[in-house]
Structure 1
Amino acid sequence: MERYLALELASTIRHDGEGGVADDLGDAAALTAWVRGHLAEAGDFVAEDAVLADVLVLRRAVRALFARAVAPGQPSSADAHRLMPAEEAIAHLNAAAARVPVVPRLDWAAGAAPVARLVPERDPAGPAAGIVAELARAAVDFLTGPQRDRLRACAAPRCVRYFVKSHGRQEWCKPSCGNRARVARHYRRHHPETVQA
């Protein structure tokens, strides 16, 4: 299964298992752990509250653009009622991506094919700006790539995740969501009076 950094950032908002929503980036320590687990270049990065605030706004922009990408389908229920306007989300994403300029770099190891990578030109604003810029660029890459057409909001009750559809009939982000949806459907069929109450 392919990993998409932008999708993983959006998925830091998730169902808490008890009917509510959990935020895996609840504080600076949680962001530090998440960044170190998802970005190889993170090194000894330690998040501060200002960086956490930047990443949370970036995540909000990404989730708003994911909602736009799945339209006319329903967006995630976690933020459907309070989505950032699309134009604001685009502007925020572009500004965050531009915080650290990048230049193409050619790597060509003996016996291998040449590879072009974008690397930071310089890091004038410190490693935190580089982290936010990298997350924003990952979202730009995701939203402009072929996977955007397969992006869906999970249809399971109470699930708030987005996922990339891997086969034609997939409706849920994971098997447990499919089980929960089937149980809810069965309950509605066999107990219509309680559902309407």
Structure 2
Amino acid sequence: MELQIAGSVPPPAPGAERYPALDFVNSSVALPGGQFVDLLGTPATTNRWLTEHGLAPADAGVQEMCATQLRSLREHLRSLFAARVAALPALPAALSAVNDALSRVPTTALLHWDEKNGPYRAVPCPVHEILDHALATLAANAADLLTGPDAERLTACGSPPCNRYLLRHGRRHWCSTRCGDRARAARAYARRAHPETR
């Protein structure tokens, strides 16, 4: 099953090498035939994705709650990317979710208060720290993309049913060669099927 999924997923979209948030947003892939592949679909695949992107050790022990939080951030970022591409206002809930993720990583050990022993400082639980670091890193990277010079190049893949985003380079509007081939084949078929529309 994993080999089949791995073969179904297109390579990273243009721009993902510079913006891991782009790869994160594209971790839910729509495929032809109404199929979807979610690279964050289970705790194990989420842990693997985080490890491959340098955001967690292989033995981080990601639980479903962590995977759910990451999938939620992904959907909020997708919403912001879609708003940017369509030049529409952002949803306030998406902005709140990203700002919450940005503020998750403390710069120092936090102050706590124990009823018996009084005040003490401590860092969060390691698993929560890993998740908070991943959420903050991905949110910051997405914010950099949305507010930086590359924001003008952000676009949705132009080959239905693909739902991925990419940074446009020249006239290229596809996230992968596979999507480009599919779009060209659809145009060629349309020209043969309806020659009078040329």
Which category describes the TM-score, using the shorter chain as reference length?
A: 0.7 to 0.9
What is residue 183 of structure 1 aligned with on the other side?
A: 185
Q: Which of 99, 107, 119 is residue 94 of structure 1 equivalent to?
A: 99
Contact 2:174 2:180 in 1 (8 A): yes
Partner SS state of residue 76, structure 2: helix
Contact 2:47 2:56 in 1 (8 A): no
Distance 1:102 1:145, change over 3 A: farther
TM-score, structure 2 normalization: 0.74
Q: Secondary structure at the match of 2:145?
A: helix
- Is residue 130 of structure 1 aligned with residue 133 of structure 2? yes
Residue 114 of structure 1 corresponds to: none
Alignment check: 8 A CA contact 2:31 2:161 kept? no
Q: Retained in 2: the 8 A contact 1:157–1:184?
A: no
Partner in structure 2 of residue 8 of structure 1: 23
Partner of 1:42: 56
Correspondence list, 1:1-197, <5 A: 2=15, 3=17, 4-39=19-54, 41-43=55-57, 44-72=59-87, 86-102=91-107, 123-124=123-124, 125-166=128-169, 168-192=170-194
**In the TM superposition, what whole-angstrom CA distance separates every residue of 1:87-127 from its partner, at most 9, and x where no partner exists?**
11011000011011348xxxxxxxxxxxxxxxxxx842532
CA distance in structure 1 between the aligned counterparts of 2:53 and 2:27, rounded to whole angstroms: 12
1:56 positional shift: 0.6
1:138: Cα distance to partner?
1.7
Assess if the C-alpha contact under 8 Å between 2:29 and 2:37 holds in 1.
Answer: yes
Aligned length: 162
Percent of aligned positions with the same letter in both sequences? 35
Question: Which entry has the higher C-alpha Rg, 1 or 2?
Answer: 2
Could you tell me how far 1:64 is from its partner in structure 2?
Answer: 0.3
In the alignment, the residues of structure 1 paired with residue 87 and residue 188 of structure 2 have an alpha-carbon distance, to the nearest angstrom, of 26
Q: Which has the higher contact order (CA 8 A, sep 6+)?
A: 2
Residues in 2 aligned to 1:61 and 1:153: alpha-carbon distance in whole angstroms: 16
User: Is contact 1:123–1:130 with CA below 8 Å preserved after alignment?
Assistant: no
The SS at the match of 1:126 is helix
Measured after TM superposition, the shift of residue 158 of structure 1 is: 1.3
SS at 1:173's partner residue?
Answer: coil
Cα offset, 1:188, TM superposition? 1.8
Where structure 2 has 5 or more consecutive residues not aligned to the other structure, the ranges are: 1-13, 109-121
Which residue of 1 is the match for residue 112 of structure 2? none
Letter in 2 for 1:52: A
Report if aligned partners of 2:30, 2:163 keep a CA contact under 8 Å in 1: yes
Q: In 2, are the aligned partners of 1:155 and 1:172 still within 8 Å (CA)?
A: yes
CA RMSD of aligned residues (A): 2.2
